[in-house]
Each structure stands twice: as C-alpha cells, then as structure tokens.
Structure 1
Amino acid sequence: MVSDSDNPIQPPPWLNAPPVDPYPFAETYDLRTGPDLHPALNSLLPYVGLWRGRGRGGFPTIEDFDYAQEIRITHDGRPFLHYESRAWILDEQSQPVRPAGREVGWWRPVLREEGSGTDELEVLLTTPTGVMELHVGKITGTQVELVSDAVLRTATAKEVTAGHRLFGIVEGALLYAQDMAAMGQPLSPHLSARLIRVGG
C-alpha cells in the first residue's frame, strides 16, 4: 500500500499483530483479593459481592411468578461498581423453568472535586430486550434509592417509560423492590427479592 514511490504508507503496527494476552486487570467481588476499593465507593462497600436468592414478580399485564436470581457486584479499583444480574423462573416446586431477566450496568457515585464520593448515585442499566435506563439516586446508610431519569428503547423493545428501585442491606442480606411503568400502565410494583451473599 503506497501513495507514490517516494512516500510509502506503512500499515499500523496492530494490523497484523498476534492476539494479546488475557485482560490483565483484576475485577473482583471479594474485597480480600484484587485491587483496593476506591475510597469513593466506601458507602457502597456492603453491596460488593456475589448474591443469590429468590423473589416474586408481577405486573398488571402479566401473571405473578416466582423467580431465582444471581447478582454480581464487582469493582476494579476505579470509582464505579459493575452490576450484573441474571434471573430464572421457578415452578411451584422451586425448580428452574427457563431463563428470565438479565441486566448489566454501572453504579457511579457522584464525585467531589477531591475525588471522594458523595451520597448521590448515577446508575446505567441495559437489558438484552432493548431497554436502557439511566437512574439517579441517593445512598442513605445501607439503603440505595433509584429513580429513572431517562429510558431509551430500541424500535422492537416493549414500552418501558419509568422505574423506581429501592435496595437495602438488611441483616446481611440484599433486599430490593422494583416498580415499573410500562405497556401503558402507571408505575406499579414489578419485582421484589431477598438475596444472600454467597461470595465476597
């Protein structure tokens, strides 16, 4: 590949380079290993971990259902948490029936100028069903309350227009309740669960 005989254009060095080694930086839900927790995350420290439990779901447009869930909240030393949730439907005998909701996203405390965290929180969540939510929230002790600030949807996603979530650490367990406005319905209870720390 040349522009003319006097000025050959060299290909970038990465064009034909071999694969790189695996990602070299640790991300962990175990505070005893990996990088130190960023000081801005101190108020969210109780949430870091691997959690599993059960919940109950419903909405005015669907039948109530039981589900199990795993939530993984990790950090890599920077001032945000990585949030990942996956759930599955349970039958009347608490046996798994099929995969259910999944979410990935980021919990970002609003930082002061010197880099410490405030009690304000920005949370971005994305689902494989085509919905992206921006929440703003407040940290009060071991409680986190989130209110949707914006909801974006793909052209094929179901209509979701607003949300409200309340998380809390109660006697060592992670409890939460989620309300949703969707499919022409006003903000209504949707999910609630209790998860036990199984890692971290």
Structure 2
Amino acid sequence: MHPSGLAVTSCRAANSQVQTFPVYWQKTTLKNLDGVWRVENLGMEPPKMNPVVEPLSWMLGTWLSDPPGAGTFPTLQPFHYLEEVHISHVGQPMLNFSFNAFHPDTHKPMHRECGFIRLEPHTNKVAFVSAQNTGIVEVEEGEVNGQELCIASHSIARISFAKEPHVEQAVM
C-alpha cells in the first residue's frame, strides 16, 4: 500500500527535472512534459518545511505507480491505470498533494484528486482532506508511525448531482 492509501504494487520516485512550486511566491514558467503542463522553478529556493510536518518529509516528491494499478467500481468493468502522486509543501503546517490517474496505454486522464495532509502537532494523528473530480470531498484520519500510515474514511460529502452509486465509505 502506498503511503497515500493507493493500492499499488510498488512506487518509485519520478526522475523529473522539473520541481513544482506554487505560482504565488516566485517567478515561474510553464513547461509541457509528455503533454502535461507543469510549473517550472526558475531558481528561487523553496520555503523551509514547517517543523509540524517534518515527520512526513519522506512522502515529498513525485511518485509513479509501477506496475499499473488495478481498479474496480460497481458500474465499470475492471480496469488498469497509471497514477502520478505529487506531494509538496509551501512552508505551512501541512503538505499539499495531487493524485492523477491515467489510462496505461493511451495516457488519457482518468481520476483526479487534490488536497492536504495534516498532522496534529505533537502527536502521530494524521488527516487527509481531499476533493475529487467526481464531485466527492473526503476526510480520512488515522496515525503515522515512521513511514507507515494507517488511515480510515472519516467523512464523505458529494455534490447533489454526482453519478450513482453514491460513495458512502472509502475502503483502503
């Protein structure tokens, strides 16, 4: 299980020459890599990591699923996907994340998710807060022990016109 809770066989850090940082604190330029536009760092130093989230520093970076993951959903045939997970920080007491799933053959975008990872200061309690392109928002909570996360679905909400079936709990 990947630290993000993704069911992938293994992960490896991506060999990307581009680091991504928020546009609002530095000069940036856009760069197209394999059809995906990314923000390129133009030399400014990233902010110092907030000490509250230092226990999660091992998660920072870009991770790629290798081999592709396998997915199931009640209204779909079983499928495979590639997942790119980007975890970063901006010096605040949280990490930022984005999960982007692609079809393994066509690289067509599939599932998207972004949000924040927070630690309760001076504890091992962790929370993921995420928004998905399907109209679902979710809070997962649990504990971090070293480089292991154990999280469970805490609450889920959705837009009123989300497709059926309506998700009620995420199972990791």
Normalising by structure 2, we get a TM-score of 0.69
SS at match of 1:23: helix
* 1:29-108 map, 5 Å: 33-53=45-65, 54-90=68-104, 95-96=105-106, 98-108=108-118
Cα deviation digits, residues 151-174 of structure 1 (max 9, x gap):
101111130101133xxxxxxxxx
Cα deviation digits, residues 139-159 of structure 1 (max 9, x gap):
022111211111101111130
Measured in 1, the distance between the counterparts of 2:116 and 2:142 equals: 13
Cα deviation digits, residues 82-120 of structure 1 (max 9, x gap):
010111122xxxx225321000100010114xxxxx210
Task: Please say if residues 123 and 135 of structure 1, whose CA atoms lie closer than 8 Å, have aligned partners that are also in contact.
Answer: yes
Give aligned-pair identity as a percent: 28
Measured in 1, the distance between the counterparts of 2:107 and 2:88 equals: 28
From the CA coordinates, give the structure whose radius of gyration is larger. 1
* 1:1-200 map, 5 Å: 23-24=24-25, 33-53=45-65, 54-90=68-104, 95-96=105-106, 98-112=108-122, 118-158=123-163, 159-165=166-172
Task: Please say if residues 146 and 164 of structure 1, whose CA atoms lie closer than 8 Å, have aligned partners that are also in contact.
Answer: no
Measured in 2, the distance between the counterparts of 1:81 and 1:164 equals: 22
| Bigger fraction of residues in strand | 1
Partner of 1:195: none
Task: Please say if residues 137 and 144 of structure 1, whose CA atoms lie closer than 8 Å, have aligned partners that are also in contact.
Answer: yes
Whose RCO is larger (CA < 8 A, sep 6+)? 1
Extract unaligned runs of 5+ from structure 1. 1-21, 27-32, 113-117, 166-200
Amino acid at match of 1:24: W
Normalising by structure 1, we get a TM-score of 0.60
